Amino acid sequence: MRFIFVLSALLLTIGASSLRAQVIERNIDEIKSESLLRAQRGAYPLGGLDPSDVAQALSQIHTRDKDEWAKGWSQVAQTYIDKGQRASSAQEAAIAYKKAWRLYYFAQWPVPNSQGKQLAYDNGIKAYLKYAETMNPPMEVVQIPFEGKTITGYLRFPANSANQKVPMILAISGLDSRKETVADSYEQILAQGVGFLAVDGPGTGQAPIKVSATAERMFSKVLDYLNAHPRVDSQRIIVSGVSFGGYWASKLAITEKHRLLGSVAQSPPVDEFFSEKFLREGTLGNREYLFDLAPAFINVFEGANSVDDLARLMPGMSLKAQNLLSQPTTPMLVVTGVKDTQVPIGDIELLMRSGDVPKEAWINPMGGHLGREAKGWTDPVIFSKVIIPWELRLIAQSRGK
C-alpha cells in the first residue's frame, strides 16, 4: 500500500476547477434510473442492496414525495422482516434482518425529514438490532449520559479479549450514513484485536444534538466514556470519520489531541466547503450525491430551515475561522478523491499544510467523494485496504511506548 502525499500546486489547480455552476436536482425518473445503476455497481448509497429488491421498490415509487419514497422501500424491507421471523436458523435470520435494515436505511435516505421516512428509520433501527442479536462477538448498545439526554452507541470488542485492554476505534458517521453503517464497515477490524464504538454524528440518527460550532463536545463525552471503560486501552484510541464525520475527526485531532492516538478523516470539510459560494455553487443540486444534499444539511444544522440559514450558519464551522488549524494535531490519515465534488480538494490541501505533526494522505486520482469509484475502489475496499491497515500500523507502532 502506498500513501500519496499532497502536492500543493496540483491541488491548487484541481481546487480551482472543482467548483461547478449550480445544477438542477434529479427528477424522480432520473433518481430511479441512477439508483438502479448504482445498485448494480454496488455503489454508494446502494451498496449491499440486491438490484432485484431495488427494482421492486422503485416500481412502487412514482413521485418525489418523501413518504411515497419511504413506503416503496419499506414494503420490500418488511418481506425480509417476515423471513427473519420465520427463519429456521440464526444465520438465516441474520441475512434477512440485515437486508431489511439496509432497505429501511435507504427508505429514510438521505435523512428522515418526513413522517414516513422517520417511521422507516425507526423500523431500520429495530431490524438492525434484530440482526445484532446474531453477532459474534456480541454488540452492546450503550447509553452515555449527555446534557440531560443520551448518546447511543454500538460497542464491540474482539473475541477472547475479556481479560485485557484493547485498542479502540471511535467511528463517526457522516451526513447520511449512520452508526449502523460505520459499525458494519468496522466489523472486520475485530479479528485484528481492535474494538470499536460507533456513534451517529450530530444532527443524524439518534444523536442528542444537532450540528453547531461546538457540537464536538458530544464526542468529548464519548471519549470520557471510553477512557473510563475497564476493557479499553485509553492510550490507543483512534477516531475515524466519514464525510461530515471527517470534519469531526479532523477537529478532534486538534481539540482532543492528547487523548487520541490518531485520526482518520475521509473527505473532511475544513474551510472553503463552509463558504456561501461553495454552498450555492457546489452543494445545491450536486450530481455526485444521489439527491437532496442541501435539504439533508438543512435537516442536521441547529437553527436551519432554509438554504439562506445554511449560508448564515456554515461559515462559523470553518476550522480556519475557529483558529484551530495552526494548533498541534495527533497523527492523521486523510482520504479523498481528486474528483470529489462534494468537498473541495483545497480543503484537503489546507488541512495537510496545517498543524505540527506529519500527516499522511491517500488520494485517488480517479476517485470521487471519500476517494470512492463506481468500480474497484468502493467504500468496503477503501476500508479494508487503506484505512484499517493504517490504523493497525499506528497501533502496532504505539506498543511499548
232-242 and 166-172: which strand pairing?
parallel
Distance CA 37, CA 47 (A): 11
| 8-27+137-398 CATH | 3.40.50.1820
Distance CA 395, CA 2 (A): 18
pLDDT, tens only, 25-53: 899 999 999 999 999 999 999 999 999 99
Q: How many beta carbons lie within 10 A of that of residue 7, not counting itself?
A: 14
Distance CA 92, CA 196 (A): 26
Give the pLDDT of residue 201: 98
Give the pLDDT of residue 15: 38
Give the pLDDT of residue 9: 33
Contact yes or no for 174/244 (Cβ under 8 A): yes
Distance CA 297, CA 250 (A): 19
Sheet-wide strand order for 359-364: 139-146, 149-156, 195-199, 166-172, 232-242, 262-266, 332-337, 359-364
Contact yes or no for 251/340 (Cβ under 8 A): no
Identify the helix (H) or strand (E) that includes residue 195. Answer: strand 195-199
Cell of 393: 500500523
- Point out the residues of the chain with pLDDT beneath 50: 1-21
Contact yes or no for 181/243 (Cβ under 8 A): no
Give the pLDDT of residue 163: 87
Distance CA 331, CA 261 (A): 7
- Taking the chain, what is the end-to-end CA distance rounded to the nearest angstrom? 25
From residue 63, how far is each of 28, 67, 73, 121, 392 by CA, in Å?
Answer: 6, 10, 13, 20, 46
Give the pLDDT of residue 1: 40
Question: CA angle 341-346-351, nearest 5°?
Answer: 120
The alpha carbon of residue 234 and the mean position of all alpha carbons in its chain are separated, in whole angstroms, by 23
Give the pLDDT of residue 261: 98
User: Who's near 29: CB < 8 A, 6+ residues apart?
Assistant: none
What residues form DSSP beta bridges with 238? 169, 262
149-156 and 332-337: which strand pairing?
unpaired
232-242 and 262-266: which strand pairing?
parallel
pLDDT, tens only, 196-251: 999 999 999 999 999 999 999 999 999 999 999 999 999 999 999 999 999 999 99
User: Who's near 363: CB < 8 A, 6+ residues apart?
Assistant: 4, 6, 335, 336, 337, 338, 348, 371
Give the pLDDT of residue 8: 35
Give the pLDDT of residue 175: 96
What residues form DSSP beta bridges with 151? 144
166-172 and 149-156: which strand pairing?
unpaired
